[in-house]
Amino acid sequence: MARECYTKHKREYMKKLIIGNWKMNLNMQEASLYLHKLSELIPAQRTVDVVLAPTMLTLQSLSLQVNRRQFKLAAQNSYWRDQGAYTGEVPAAHLRGIVDYVLIGHSERRYLFMESDKETRAKVQSAVRNHLQPVLCVGETASERANGETRDVLHDQLVGGLANLTADELDELVIAYEPVWAIGTGNNATPDDVKEAVRIIRHQINQLFGARATKEVRVIYGGSVNIDNAQSYLSLDQVDGLLIGGASLDAHQFSEIVDMAYKLEGGRAS
Ligand code: PGA
């Protein structure tokens, strides 16, 4: 798969990952026009993985339009069984060949659609089974944060989402730290908040899967990322990229953020 980790034993260089989560925006025609616009603004290069997550309906037509050396696609969700009588669901098995990544356990899924850790776990497993890279989203709510429960929430969501996987199956996993209070609020976490959360996440991965998995898993940040604050996260060694909602719908902002990541990577030649 498309990920590159330039070392097996030390976190020296991990390719940055920028994901644009379009959420329930842009119909087929709008999505196609927007992809066209982005493809003119963001050059194809190998040093940053740029991933677009449009609605389920637009994925297939965008997969025919997209230059996969320029952008990869992600589904915003998927169902965990491979087939059967599950009206309205789309399984990871049907997304194979169309997307490379799938978002799992986004807080909007957890809190608006009451998705449980048991479901996120089954979804992570079905993504792995179908050779898609899961992006497991974790993060605490404002009240959990106020009560000092961040560590426990991250622990529960990671154990809940990843139990039953082997360290080898973790190879392609991405974890997105997305504090619920920061999503869509303009109230982004500070770089220190993010550093601390990523430390907790890696510690937990270490407990569950050992040192190699800890070094190789990519951990990204999401929550009110925009053109003004993106650099402060991208320049943290601990943070391997960004999951961007609102600002990913603004071609100027999104392409500038990708450019920042590219420049921070030293514009490594493809
Ligand atoms: P936001 O959304 O950037 O609009 O806060 C992030 C997300 O929901 O993934």
Domains and CATH numbers, the chain: 2-265 (3.20.20.70)
Model pLDDT, residue 12: 53
Distance CA 91, CA 122 (A): 11
Q: Is 94 a catalytic residue?
A: no
Ranges of residues in the chain with a pLDDT under 70 are 1-13, 267-270
Chain centroid offset of residue 93 CA = 19
Model pLDDT, residue 2: 40
CA 210 / ligand 1 centre spacing (Å): 30
In 3D space, the residue among 61, 64, 59, 52 whose CA is nearest the CA of residue 78 turns out to be 59
Cβ atoms within 10 Å, residue 27: 11
pTM score of the predicted model: 0.94
Structure tokens at 179: 């504090």
Distance CA 91, CA 83 (A): 7
Model pLDDT, residue 11: 54
- 90 neighbors 129 (Cβ within 8 angstroms): no
Give, using CA atoms, the residue closest to atom 6 of ligand 1: 245
Q: Which atom of ligand 1 is nearest to the CA of 244?
A: 3
State the residue for tokens 């998995």: 213
Give φ, ψ of 98 to 5 degrees.
-100, -45
Residues with beta carbon inside 6 Å of ligand 1?
A: 21, 178, 183-184, 222-225, 243-247
Residues 6 or more apart whose Cβ sits within 8 Å of residue 110:
120
CA 206 / ligand 1 centre spacing (Å): 27
Model pLDDT, residue 266: 74
CA 104 / ligand 1 centre spacing (Å): 14
Model pLDDT, residue 169: 87
Structure tokens at 42: 């963001």
Give, using CA atoms, the residue closest to atom 2 of ligand 1: 245
Q: Which residues of 199-222 are buried (b: 16+ CB within 10 A; e: fewer)?
A: ebbbebbeebbeeebbbbbbbbbb
Looking at the DSSP bridge assignments, the partners of residue 20 are 52, 244
DSSP 107-172: HHHHHHS---HHHHHHHHHHHHHTT-EEEEEE---HHHHHTT-HHHHHHHHHHHHHTT--TGGGGG
Distance CA 138, CA 141 (A): 10
Interior angle at CA 223, CA 142 and CA 219, nearest 5: 105
Model pLDDT, residue 68: 95
